[in-house]
Amino acid sequence: MSTDAAGIAIRARGLTKRFGDLVAVDHVDLEVPSRHVYGFLGPNGSGKSTTIRMLCGLLTPSAGEIEVLGLSIPAQAEALRRHIGYMTQKFSLFEDLTVRENLEFLAAVQGVPKARTGSRIDELVDQYHFGDRQNQLAGTMSGGQKQRLALAGAVIHEPELLFLDEPTSAVDPESRRDFWEKLFELADVGTTLLVSTHLMDEAERCHRLAILDHGALVADGTPGELTGKLEGRTFIVEAADPRRAQRALVDVPGMLGVAQVGTALRVLTADTTESGDRKPTDIAQRMQAALAAAGQKAEVATTPPNLEDVFVAVTRNGHAKQERAA
């Protein structure tokens, strides 16, 4: 079992899931290269979990084709199970079993060879820092510890492909950093990881990512590619009264987003070709004029775009399209 010649671990075409009238996932096309950390970025309810569940064969798609590790899903979902690990959004190990008992159970169920089970569990206990907590009940551990245990359980059989559904949602920043270290260690040894998140800083760590909004895939690429497309469209406005400056700016044509960040405003403008501006400086001048008209003394400067800007840009476009279609 391996990825195909092109090194693609997951391929999906026109993936759709309907729950009654609700379209949770809407014609998603996806290609996840192997040995990558691939991110799914999107707000709650954007279809991230549903997509992951369809990819690992837990939900039957309403339409579309899926190929994971060369297997056709959901038809060959059973054969796929032994090659994937799945870390659920909610802690799904047994809270009334100890750390070691949970790992023993998963080792047996995932078919880790009997002779190897003991040493594999020792290895994981060591790697994931459970040395003195092996006999602690899983239910009595902190959020970060549970998360580590869930990850240890998901990789006990050394899967080629690992699905992680918002793995760090209940974890403090320090634990999150450690957790991501573990994910990159896994990618280093050849594991493909698909991680869903709604946190921008996590998305920035991914090799590639797809942005989901209302069940549709609105953008994908490396973080650099995605932010690169917004070059020249992001500004920082330093104003004495940011609230009033914000009110003055929202009505300027070509504004996609004006958000307050501390004492400054972060401004995302529409695509220059669409707004009819020849240079980024044109819109900067319009902003200056609007601020002056409102009696605001302010500095407008360009700033490098980040993923949050990308997210705002692609989701605003999506809404605009929907409005036009309606």
Binding residues vs other proteins (CB under 8 A): 53, 56, 58-60, 74, 77-78, 81-82, 84, 86, 88, 90-97, 101, 104-106, 108-111, 114, 137, 153
- For the bound state, the minimum distance from the C-beta of residue 59 to other proteins, rounded and expressed in Å, comes to 5
- For the bound state, the minimum distance from the C-beta of residue 81 to other proteins, rounded and expressed in Å, comes to 5
Please, which residue, 97 or 294, has the CB nearer to other proteins?
97
- For the bound state, the minimum distance from the C-beta of residue 246 to other proteins, rounded and expressed in Å, comes to 42
The two three-digit tokens of residue 15, written as one number: 């993936």
Please, which residue, 82 or 279, has the CB nearer to other proteins?
82
Please, which residue, 105 or 317, has the CB nearer to other proteins?
105
- For the bound state, the minimum distance from the C-beta of residue 101 to other proteins, rounded and expressed in Å, comes to 6
- For the bound state, the minimum distance from the C-beta of residue 97 to other proteins, rounded and expressed in Å, comes to 6
Please, which residue, 154 or 287, has the CB nearer to other proteins?
154
Please, which residue, 42 or 74, has the CB nearer to other proteins?
74
Please, which residue, 50 or 315, has the CB nearer to other proteins?
50
Q: DSSP assignment of 274-320, as one string?
A: HHT-SSHHHHHHHHHHHHHHTT--EEEEE----HHHHHHHHHHHHHH
The two three-digit tokens of residue 54, written as one number: 């369809």
Outline where DSSP puts E strands in 20-93.
22-33, 37-41, 63-68, 71-73, 84-87
What is the DSSP-derived secondary structure letter of residue 137?
Answer: B
Asked if residues 194 and 40 have their Cβ atoms less than 8 Å apart, the reply is yes
Please, which residue, 110 or 260, has the CB nearer to other proteins?
110
- For the bound state, the minimum distance from the C-beta of residue 58 to other proteins, rounded and expressed in Å, comes to 5
**One-letter amino acid identity for 217?**
L
- For the bound state, the minimum distance from the C-beta of residue 17 to other proteins, rounded and expressed in Å, comes to 9
CA 182 distance to own-chain centroid? 16
Enumerate the H helices of the chain as residue ranges. 48-55, 77-81, 99-109, 114-127, 143-154, 173-188, 200-205, 223-228, 242-249, 272-275, 280-293, 307-325
Q: Are strands 161-165 and 22-33 parallel, antiparallel or unpaired?
A: unpaired
CA 283, 288, 290 angle in degrees (round to 5)? 95
Please, which residue, 166 or 277, has the CB nearer to other proteins?
166
Q: Compute the distance between CA of residue 108 and CA of residue 85 in angstroms, rounded to an integer.
A: 14
- For the bound state, the minimum distance from the C-beta of residue 247 to other proteins, rounded and expressed in Å, comes to 46
